[in-house]
Structure 1
Amino acid sequence: MDHGFTRRRLGALGAGLLAAPALLGRAAAATWPDRPVTLVVPFTPGGASDTLARLVGQHFPRFTGGQTLVVENRAGAGGLVGGAYVAGQRPDGNILLMADIGANAIGKELNPRLGYDPMKAFTPIIQLVNLPAVFFAHPSVPEKTVAEVIAKAKARPDAYTYASAGVGNGSHLFMALLCRRAGISMVHVPYRSGSEIVTSVMRNETQLGFPSLSSALPMLKEGAIRPIAMGNPGGSPALPGVPLVSDTLPGFDIAVWYGVAAPAGMAPDLADRINEVFGSIAALPEVREAVFNTQAGQVIGGSREEFARFLQKEYDTWTPVIREGGIRTE
């Protein structure tokens, strides 16, 4: 018996088995998409992520040989219902997720009983947009700056109440981070949406809020609420001249963001192809203009690796805030 021949055959067979996934990945990338693609939005229709998904869907056929993008809303538990659904799908590119901070970075910290680990359950595809967030107050609040708000809160821990769009929502975490960095505490009043934050502060039911700029911009322009500072270091041309939180708390850098993620285990070639399609859409001038005009946002784009690093940074930023603050959605 030629044992050398047998070993060579077994070696060739093993090499073929190892090469099979790569070959399948290249084949899938070459034909994707061969049917309509579903993009799961883990929130209700009409919100920022839903609006963005439908904008992207308008241009999707231009880069996919006419195949369409079907937006499917699976809301619940701050994005975790939709996230869990997509995490359980096959990584074949037919079902994708409109990624956000809850479903893709911090969900397990907010709800330890969550059925998946956001940092392991997905293949990051691309970061699509950043939406600036604005720290604002009711006009009757005498404090005009972040430093003045901090000073009063240190002197009187019960001086302020703030509204959020729900426990664990970005608008809650933004304020929790501000309080943690400044060494202060405030009374949290959760609502269900960014518009309810604005309404609450307008009515002086609460004094402060920190939602996306797009949800507050109309009332800011009317003077029904007053801006204190922008959360992102670059500010926003949609609301020029407003100071930055980072002027008082160096390194403070927050924004509402959305991207695209796929189930874990996706072949790299296929993931690259999907990144290419969504990146091409994000680069369109009309998409960038629409994102700014409708949501005061900035299109990001970039590589899969850049999005993966960004997700890790988000996890590292928010995990201690959640743990130390005892923030839970379960």
Structure 2
Amino acid sequence: MNSLLIVIVGLSIALPVWAQPYPHKPISLVVPQAAGGTNDIVARLIAPAFGEAIGSSVVVENRPGAGGNIGTQSVARSAKDGYTLLLTINSAQAINPSLYKNPGFDPVNDFVPLYYIGATPYVLVSPPGSPYKTLAEVVAAAKKRPGELSYASAGNGTVSHLLGAMLNASAGIEMQHIPYKGVAPAINDVLGGQVPLAFASLPSAINYIKTGKLQAIAISSAKRSSAAPEIPTIAETYPDCVGEVWVAIFAPIGVSTDVIKKNQVAMDKVMARADVREKLNAQGLDLNPVPPAKLGVLLKDELAKWAKIVKASGAQLD
């Protein structure tokens, strides 16, 4: 009897382990750039509402480096469970594959387009008291002193860099490019007078412009921004010089369709909120919706567009 009891006590009974419904833990929203840039601003504006809509906390995590490649790679290699998502911009997702010999990710085959948030132009800025208040003054100075007038960008191969190259080509000038590790340090050096000009995304510069800490010269969209209609476009003088940054969420390939759909439904709720839309609009974002299927098409179109511009600029990074 005792031996029988010992055998029974020694048995381990396997009980079924039920999968917990998604999401049951925090979701990491990876921004592959440093704090202060467009997608970082957008991520921090939407994260609280996203968390409420999806039913879990959403944590913004900056993973900068290599122009966005490091953070983007980390998401591509992350677990395919929907707890690590990428909130990125087209400079990383659509330009880096042409700019870097080996960016470490495939923008089309490593990711699922999850949600398009919006687009915004860049703005050419100068510090208060600068002699460069208009695009005509910038172009005149650059023609007078070829190669001497410089502009700051968020880094080699970013939209802010390539817009300067486009303006050089369109206006027949030769401004010197000074790359920074992100838009925030570029703006800081313009504010400090270390560099006379910078191309910065409108969300990253608009508060400085509104408070008079920066002068807005021209923006890079095809038409004027509703957030700052007083700023002329570069295209009013040089029609081919147009470029915007768009912000979108991607998931690593392999995440289940059900999880993707839950996130899309949650983001629909986020973007339907008047308070969220008002905050994003105030930052200069155009919120025209792009369905997930068309986000994939947009990405492929942008890959082709920027590949030509990168080639013409001669930019190439290892």
Residue 95 of structure 1 corresponds to which residue in structure 2?
84
Residue in structure 1 matching 2:182, options 183, 193, 196 = 193
Question: Partner amino acid for 1:108?
Answer: P
Alignment of 1:165 onto 2:154: yes
Matched with 1:299 is 287
- Contact 1:127/1:300 (CA < 8 Å) preserved in 2? no
Alpha-carbon distance in 1 for matches of 2:113, 2:249: 7
Query: Is 174-183 or 112-121 further displaced after alignment?
Result: 174-183
Q: C-alpha displacement at 1:152, in angstroms?
A: 4.9
* Distance (Å, rounded) in 2 between the aligned partners of 1:279 and 1:269: 15
Show the counterpart of 2:49. Answer: 59
Matched, 1:36 2:26: yes
| Cα gap change, 1:127 to 1:272, in 2 (>3 Å) | same
Which residue of the other structure, out of 296, 301, 304, is the alignment partner of 1:308? 296
Moved segments of 4+, more than 6 Å: none
CA RMSD of aligned residues (A): 2.8
Identity %: 35
The one-letter amino acid of 1:82's match is G
Q: Aligned partner of 2:195: which letter?
A: T
Map of 1:3 onto structure 2: none
Q: Which residue of 2 aligns with 1:318?
A: 306
TM-score normalised over the length of structure 1: 0.78
Deviations 1:192-211 (A, max 9, x none): 33333334334443332110
Question: Hey, what does 2:238 align to over in structure 1?
Answer: 249
- Shift in Å at residue 143 of structure 1? 5.7
Please tell me the residue identity of whatever aligns with 1:153: A
More displaced, 136-145 or 233-242? 136-145
Deviates more, 1:156-165 or 1:217-226: 217-226
Q: Match of 1:24?
A: none
Return the TM-score normalized by structure 2.
Answer: 0.81
Which structure: greater helix fraction? 1
Which letter does structure 2 place at the counterpart of 1:211?
A
**Uncovered stretches (5+) of structure 2, i.e. residues with no partner:** 1-18
Shift of 1:292: 3.1
CA distance in 2, matches of 1:162, 1:250: 21
**Structure 1 stretch displaced more, 157-166 or 281-290:** 157-166
Residue 262 (structure 1) aligns with: 251
After TM superposition, give the deviation of residue 112 of structure 1 in Å.
0.9
Structure 2 counterpart SS, 1:130: strand
**1:318 to partner: Cα distance:** 1.7
Q: 1:271 to 1:183 in 2, by over 3 A?
A: farther
Q: Which residue of 2 aligns with 1:132?
A: 121
Letter in 2 for 1:304: P
Instruction: Give the 3-state SS of the residue equivalent to 1:133 in structure 2.
Output: strand
**Residues matched between the structures, number:** 299
